Amino acid sequence: MLPAPPPQLVAKERHYRIHYGAIGFSYETIFKDYLPEAEEVTVEDPYIRAQHQIINFLRFCETAVRLAKPKRIVLVTNFDNEPEKDEAMAKLYTIADSLKQLDVRLEIRINPRLHDREVKLSNGWSIKIGRGFDIYQRPDDWLHIGSNDLDLRPCLETSVDIVRVKP
């Protein structure tokens, strides 16, 4: 008798709250059921500007590449002024160059009217996290457990809404 195949996870719509101080909510944990088969990932977040926000975006890109192997990631964001834009864009172009090595193209668009945060996947899923990728508390010390493994890092309070936008 052949062993039974491993159970397939079924992605489903979900709405939940991440409470202040909760752990176990890495980007992989949140997105793993929804990223597979997404050839394009669109991130709409007006706050990918500061160093920690850019690092969070990079961590998300790493998760997307590992779980979905998309062909393209589109970042739609905004900046308050030109110096902020110049500094952030230099860092984002570094991420783009790194993604090219994995045959993933990063496209950066600016939308000054953008307010909400959403990740849209070409496989039909939409994930809205109230705080965008900025859901983690800053560690008291960067040598503490959880400073690198986001499943072990305490979170800030936020809501997550995952909906199927097309069949």
Residues 88-121 have pLDDT tens digits of 999 999 999 999 999 999 999 999 999 899 999 9
Band (pLDDT 50/70/90 cuts) for residue 3 is low
Can you give the CATH number for the domain in which 39 is found?
3.30.870.30
Domain-embedded: residue 41: yes
Are residues 125 and 37 in contact, defined by beta-carbon separation less than 8 angstroms? no
Amino acid at 1: M
In whole angstroms, give the CA distance from residue 65 to residue 5. Answer: 26
pLDDT at 7 over 50: no
Domain-embedded: residue 51: yes
Q: What torsion do the CA atoms of 124, 129, 51, 148 make, to the nearest 10 degrees?
A: -90
Give the domain range for residue 23. Answer: 14-164
Domain-embedded: residue 7: no
Domain-embedded: residue 9: no
pLDDT at 42 over 80: yes
- For the whole model, what pTM was predicted? 0.91
Domain-embedded: residue 77: yes
Domain-embedded: residue 4: no
Q: Report pLDDT for 5.
A: 47
Domain-embedded: residue 5: no
Band (pLDDT 50/70/90 cuts) for residue 166 is confident
Long-range Cβ pairs for the range 153-157 (8 Å, 24+):
153/23, 154/20, 154/21, 154/22, 154/23, 155/18, 155/19, 155/20, 155/21, 155/22, 155/23, 155/25, 156/18, 156/20, 156/131, 157/17, 157/18, 157/19, 157/20
Look at the chain and report how many structural domains it folds into. 1
